[in-house]
């Protein structure tokens, strides 16, 4: 067969391959498009529903505080039935404790206190034209609460009830609902009602902030009458076809709605469709051009290419094998909420001598990062050996120094070329957050803790591979929720730019200072960006490896910033703990109230004004005990030394905060304060 015929036959085969590939590509693209179309629709509807549920929970949480305070005050009222004038103090405390409550009252059945007359309603509230709290006896012929809905339904109900929304043209001057809870005497007879007036205007900010799409809006509707009690401004309402989702707020006689235009909900699908068809056209044109170019230059390839290709293929396989040793994710259900780990390895050549590894065993994160002397294939071979030894030794050993000693002895015994390696090994106990580590001549990791960025302060031990029998030291460090360990090799600190200047440790610290609130993957990306900007056009001089480990705490702990808005996270956290541990849910409101009182005290007073700080809440169930530990790094303060509230005293005579401590002691069986290691720690124990 002639050379021309051979070339033509080869060209025809290649054309057929290109056509088959094009048909397969178009088919795959079409299938992907149909799948994308379906997923976008489902995602849009799910997003709307998820937003609605979150908003409903936020509203229920705000109204739930009023319920909790009223229920607690109902208990105090039942203990104070022999002191009718104490009811004014109870009403005042309810109004003072909850921003959304405009007024409250403790009302009793007809002639319950003969000396007070037929009606007795101990009322406290803010007049519409004043910021001064007013208390008075409100019951009478002009205000016959005995015939009102909140009193009658509250007296009849076994639990607290919410009234239907109404417009209060008296003291509140706005739309509101009333929460009512019956008061029982020692014999169990219902003798009165605690009533709390909750203004619906306070929910307007939550309702109007719900905007999952540019032109969407939400409303709050009366479940009984269908009247809109909280709605968006008229400027937010748009025309066109819309879809409305609704979510009933359980026990509150309210329905939350979310209205989204079809243009907003499915706009992304239209854009994706256009982008897909444009992409398909570009791909088809690109395939045609590539095929034409490939056929045109087919015979220009020579023997030299085949030789180089063989070498590159072998190096590519070696690189693939080496990179397969690097972990890509944390293995283990539920560990994502406790740990956020991300790594990066970029050899200076096809293969290199850097390594990192991590895995979870027995609820402990075992990890290492190392740097082999030299580059290329010899370093890569020692890297593979060291990685395998680390996995094998650490499979049954938790002590980093023991792992380092065994690994050093093995490498030193089989190292004719006198290559060496530096390594940092660590073990994090995921239950306690304690880090044990050993540094075999490696760069000290960066520790980001409570907004502070610094290197771990420990003297490094001898490098590995030089001499057998070397002893290594284990150190310990307590990690807190949100802490980050950032480990790296000298390919980062010694990265050179075109002027031969080094990136240096100071730039590492300056870049890591922005790691406090971002994920491990974003931390790696930020450091990559910083070193790329510094190096510029200079060639990579050494293998570059980074490992970021962010300890995010366990399921039984919650970290809040010293911002009163953070209190909204407490109730979902408690609900989740009670459900996971199958605790009696009737205990939840009392625990919620006690924790809110203690945490609010920390948020408001522990840190100087304007200073950032955190408070950590950890729950633990021990047999028939429920232990709560609240800790902060604020100013030393023992709340248990404060004078307790005197309920019989007037509001003016009662010390600030005393009633909160009184409630905590009433709810908890044991309360203890300590100041240890620069932290306030309040421990509360309740028998269950």
Same domain, 462 and 492: yes
Same domain, 501 and 517: yes
Out of 551, 571, 592, a domain closes at 551
Same domain, 449 and 324: yes
Question: CATH number for the domain including 360?
Answer: 3.60.40.10
Predicted local confidence at residue 406, as pLDDT: 94
Taking 90 as the threshold, does the pLDDT of residue 15 lie above it? no
**556 to 213, 431, 620: CA distances (angstroms):** 35, 10, 7
Predicted local confidence at residue 275, as pLDDT: 72
In a domain, 154, yes or no: no
Same domain, 517 and 638: no
The tens digit of pLDDT for each residue in 36-67 reads 667 777 777 787 777 878 787 777 787 888 88
Taking 90 as the threshold, does the pLDDT of residue 71 lie above it? no
> What is the C-alpha separation between 353 and 371, in angstroms, rounded?
6
> What is the C-alpha separation between 303 and 301, in angstroms, rounded?
7
Predicted local confidence at residue 553, as pLDDT: 65
Out of 503, 534, 551, a domain closes at 551
The better pLDDT of the pair 349, 452 is held by: 452
Q: Which of 262-266, 568-572, 605-609 has the lowest mean pLDDT?
A: 262-266
The tens digit of pLDDT for each residue in 443-490 reads 999 999 877 899 998 789 999 988 899 999 999 888 877 889 999 999
The tens digit of pLDDT for each residue in 242-257 reads 778 887 877 777 888 8
Q: How many domains, the chain?
A: 2
In a domain, 511, yes or no: yes
User: Using 50, 70 and 90 to split pLDDT, how confident is the model at 402?
Assistant: very high
* DSSP sequence for 490-526: HHHHT-B-TT--B-HHHHHHHHHTT-TTS-HHHHHHH
If 0-12 CB within 10 Å is exposed, 13-18 middle and 19+ buried, where does residue 426 land?
buried
Same domain, 523 and 582: no
> Is this structure's pTM higher than 0.85?
no
In a domain, 118, yes or no: no
Same domain, 393 and 541: yes
Q: Which domain holds residue 396?
A: 316-551
* DSSP sequence for 157-175: -SS-EEPPPEEETTTT-EE
Cα angle 621, 622, 625; round to 5: 80
In a domain, 6, yes or no: no
Per-residue 3-state assignment (H helix, E strand, C coil) for 174-195: EEEEEEEEEEECCCCCEEEEEE
Structure tokens at 299: 């015979």
Compute, in degrees rounded to 10, the torsion defined by CA atoms 234, 235, 236, 238. 90
Q: Average the pLDDT over 670-674 and give the result.
A: 91
H/E stretch holding 451 reads: none
527, 512 Cβ separation under 8 angstroms:
yes
In a domain, 389, yes or no: yes
Q: Closest Cα to residue 591, out of 577, 601, 580?
A: 577
Neighbours of 584 (CB within 10 A): 9
- In this structure, the strands spanning 101-108 and 134-137 are unpaired
In a domain, 55, yes or no: no
Taking 80 as the threshold, does the pLDDT of residue 1 lie above it? no
Structure tokens at 171: 């003291």
Enumerate residues 6+ apart whose C-beta is below 8 A from 466.
412, 418, 420
In a domain, 307, yes or no: no
Neighbours of 666 (CB within 10 A): 14
Same domain, 602 and 646: yes
Same domain, 328 and 452: yes
Predicted local confidence at residue 334, as pLDDT: 46
User: Using 50, 70 and 90 to split pLDDT, how confident is the model at 329?
Assistant: low
Same domain, 511 and 565: no
Taking 60 as the threshold, does the pLDDT of residue 91 lie above it? yes
User: Using 50, 70 and 90 to split pLDDT, how confident is the model at 656?
Assistant: very low
> What is the C-alpha separation between 651 and 645, in angstroms, rounded?
10
Predicted local confidence at residue 199, as pLDDT: 81
Out of 551, 583, 602, a domain closes at 551
284, 26 Cβ separation under 8 angstroms:
yes
DSSP state, 605? H
Same domain, 515 and 561: no
In a domain, 564, yes or no: yes
Same domain, 606 and 535: no
Question: CATH number for the domain including 580?
Answer: 3.30.565.10
**388 to 169, 290, 341, 422, 471: CA distances (angstroms):** 77, 43, 21, 16, 21
Same domain, 367 and 484: yes
């Amino acid at each position: 067969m002639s050379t021309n015929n051979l070339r033509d036959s080869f060209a025809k085969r290649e054309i057929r391959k290109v056509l088959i590939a094009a048909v397969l590509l178009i088919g795959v693209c079409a299938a992907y498009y149909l799948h994308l179309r379906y997923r976008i629709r489902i995602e849009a509807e799910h997003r709307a529903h998820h937003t609605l549920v979150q908003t409903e929970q936020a509203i229920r949480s705000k109204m739930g505080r009023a319920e909790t305070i009223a229920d607690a005050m109902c208990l105090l009222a039942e203990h104070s039935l022999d002191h009718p004038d104490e009811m004014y103090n109870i009403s005042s405390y309810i109004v003072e404790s909850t921003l959304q409550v405009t007024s409250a009252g403790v009302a009793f059945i007809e002639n319950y206190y003969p000396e007070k007359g037929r009606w007795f309603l101990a009322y406290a509230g803010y007049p519409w034209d004043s910021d001064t709290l007013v208390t008075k006896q409100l019951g009478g012929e002009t205000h016959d609460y005995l015939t009102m809905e909140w009193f009658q339904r509250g007296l009849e109900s076994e639990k607290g009830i919410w009234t239907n929304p109404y417009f209060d043209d008296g003291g509140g001057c706005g739309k509101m609902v009333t929460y009512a809870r019956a008061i029982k005497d020692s014999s169990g007879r219902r003798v009165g009602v605690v009533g709390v007036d909750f203004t619906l205007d306070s929910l307007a900010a939550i309702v109007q902030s719900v905007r999952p799409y540019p032109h969407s809006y939400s409303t709050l509707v009366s479940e009984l009458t269908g009247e809109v009690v909280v709605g968006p401004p008229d400027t937010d309402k748009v025309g066109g076809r819309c879809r409305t989702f609704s979510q009933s707020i359980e026990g509150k006689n309210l329905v939350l709605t979310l209205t989204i235009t079809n243009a907003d909900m499915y706009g992304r699908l239209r854009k994706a469709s256009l982008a897909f068809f444009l992409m398909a056209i570009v791909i088809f044109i690109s395939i045609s051009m590539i095929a034409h170019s490939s056929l045109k230059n087919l015979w220009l390839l020579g023997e030299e290419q085949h030789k180089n290709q063989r070498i590159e293929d072998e190096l590519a396989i070696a690189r693939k094998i080496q990179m397969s040793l690097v972990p890509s994710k944390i293995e283990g259900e539920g560990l994502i909420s406790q740990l956020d780990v991300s790594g990066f390895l970029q050899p200076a050549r096809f293969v290199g001598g850097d390594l990192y590894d991590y895995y979870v065993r027995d609820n402990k994160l075992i990890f290492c990062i190392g740097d082999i002397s030299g580059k290329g294939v010899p370093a890569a071979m020692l890297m593979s050996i060291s990685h395998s030894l680390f996995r094998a030794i650490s499979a049954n050993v938790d002590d980093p120094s023991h792992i380092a000693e065994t690994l050093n002895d093995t490498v030193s015994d089989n190292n004719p070329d006198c290559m060496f390696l530096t390594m940092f090994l660590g073990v994090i106990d995921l239950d306690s957050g304690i880090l044990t580590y050993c540094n075999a001549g490696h760069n000290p990791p960066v520790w980001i803790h409570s907004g502070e960025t610094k290197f771990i302060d420990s003297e490094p031990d001898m490098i590995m591979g030089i001499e057998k029998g070397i002893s290594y030291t284990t150190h310990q460090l307590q990690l807190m929720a949100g802490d980050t360990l950032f480990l790296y090799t000298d390919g980062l600190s010694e990265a050179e730019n075109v002027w031969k200047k080094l990136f240096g440790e100071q730039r590492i610290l300056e870049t890591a200072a922005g790691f406090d609130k971002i994920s491990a993957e974003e931390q790696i990306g930020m450091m990559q960006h910083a070193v790329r900007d510094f190096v510029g056009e200079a060639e990579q001089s050494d293998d570059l490896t980074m490992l970021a480990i962010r300890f995010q705490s366990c399921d039984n702990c919650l970290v809040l910033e010293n911002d009163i808005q953070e209190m909204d996270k407490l109730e979902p956290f408690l609900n989740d703990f009670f459900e996971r541990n199958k605790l009696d849910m009737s205990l939840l409101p009392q625990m919620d109230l006690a924790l809110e009182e203690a945490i609010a005290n920390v948020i408001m007073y522990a840190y100087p004004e304007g200073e950032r700080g955190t408070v950590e809440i950890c729950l633990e169930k021990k047999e028939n005990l429920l232990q709560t530990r609240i800790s902060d790094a604020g100013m030393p303060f023992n709340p248990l030394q404060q004078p307790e509230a005197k309920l019989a005293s007037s509001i003016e005579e009662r010390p600030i905060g005393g009633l909160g401590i009184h409630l905590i002691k009433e709810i908890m069986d044991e309360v203890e304060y300590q100041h240890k290691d620069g932290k306030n720690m309040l421990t509360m124990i309740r028998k269950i």
